[in-house]
């Protein structure tokens, strides 16, 4: 970026802090069950015969995990992911979400993953979802690498399989200025590069959502223009489930 763009990005960032109003964490349960036949009421036919038939999913991270952008948790990212996984695998999925608006990977590392452990949580698949707030907070690549590596190591103690997601797409947000979005895009590309390296070292799948096509922006974004809508989360979930299949997790 040239000096003028850097100044403009700083101005636009200050404006966004004062004028962009983020949707709050919605009400609703952050645990639930999803069945392969999602349109049917759970019955003796759809319930698992034993606990061995249940796929246990834990999702940990930022506002995506907290469901920001939708009116209730049932429309949010973790619940949608569980339903899609149940459909793709033909199995009952029991899910739990540990998310916080504004969470960085450091908060995931020091607050949210310890909460999972304290709750006795144990998963077949644990999904780590953070990065956007680290970008917005201007945390360094070195800090990101240290926190991500430690969070992945901790998550491995809580699950048979760990999946790490990239940041969201704040660089495409319709409520942010162009110079700021350019600056975010550069930082997210660097964060993605670091994340790929860490996840390769740790032998865990890394799903890069940050630059994936989102389709119609009017449909993808929620009312705040910063978080995905229910349909936006569905787009993200589609990419994640496809990646899980490629990695033999479903």
pLDDT for res 45: 47
Contact 237, 78 (CB under 8 A): no
Compute the distance between CA of residue 178 and CA of residue 221 in angstroms, rounded to an integer.
Answer: 17
Compute the distance between CA of residue 121 and CA of residue 125 in angstroms, rounded to an integer.
Answer: 11
Compute the distance between CA of residue 192 and CA of residue 11 in angstroms, rounded to an integer.
Answer: 25
pTM of the complete model beyond 0.75: yes
pLDDT for res 4: 87
Compute the distance between CA of residue 129 and CA of residue 200 in angstroms, rounded to an integer.
Answer: 17
What is the tens place of the pLDDT at every residue in 70-106?
999 999 999 999 999 999 999 999 999 999 999 999 9
Torsion angle of C-alpha atoms 101, 105, 111, 113, degrees rounded to 10 = 110
Residues of the chain falling short of pLDDT 70: 38-52
Q: How many helices (H) and strands (E) does the chain have?
A: 10, 6
Compute the distance between CA of residue 149 and CA of residue 105 in angstroms, rounded to an integer.
Answer: 10
DSSP, residue by residue, 130-175: --HHHHHTT--HHHHHHHHHHHHHHHHTTEEEEEEE----GGG-TT
Contact 109, 151 (CB under 8 A): yes
What is the tens place of the pLDDT at every residue in 139-166?
999 999 999 999 999 999 999 999 999 9
Edge to edge, what strands does the sheet with 159-165 contain? 31-34, 92-99, 54-61, 123-129, 159-165, 206-207
Buried-exposed string 17-40: b where 16+ CB fall within 10 A, e elsewhere = eeeeebbebbeeebebbbbbeeee
pLDDT for res 210: 96
pLDDT for res 247: 96
């Amino acid at each position: 970026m040239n000096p003028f763009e850097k100044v403009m990005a700083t101005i636009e960032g200050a404006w966004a802090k004062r004028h962009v109003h983020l949707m709050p964490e919605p009400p609703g349960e952050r645990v639930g069950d999803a069945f392969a036949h999602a349109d049917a009421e759970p019955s003796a036919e759809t319930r698992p015969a034993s606990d061995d038939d249940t796929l246990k999913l834990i999702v940990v991270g930022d506002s995506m995990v907290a469901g920001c952008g939708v009116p209730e948790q049932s429309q949010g990212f973790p619940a949608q992911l569980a339903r899609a996984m149940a459909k793709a695998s033909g199995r009952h999925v029991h899910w739990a979400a540990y998310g916080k608006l504004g969470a960085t990977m450091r908060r995931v590392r020091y607050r949210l993953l310890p909460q999972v452990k304290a709750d006795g949580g144990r998963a077949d698949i644990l999904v780590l979802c953070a990065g956007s707030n680290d970008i917005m907070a201007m945390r360094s690549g070195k800090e990101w690498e240290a926190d991500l590596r430690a969070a992945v190591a901790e998550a491995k103690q809580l699950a048979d399989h760990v999946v790490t997601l990239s940041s969201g797409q704040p660089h495409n947000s319709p409520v942010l200025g162009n110079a700021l979005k350019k600056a975010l895009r550069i930082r997210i590309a660097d964060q993605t590069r670091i994340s790929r390296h860490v996840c390769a070292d740790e032998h865990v799948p890394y799903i890069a959502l940050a630059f994936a096509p989102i389709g119609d922006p009017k449909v993808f974004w929620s009312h705040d223009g910063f978080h995905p809508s229910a349909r936006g989360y569905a787009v993200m979930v589609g990419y994640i489930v496809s990646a899980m299949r490629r990695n033999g997790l479903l």
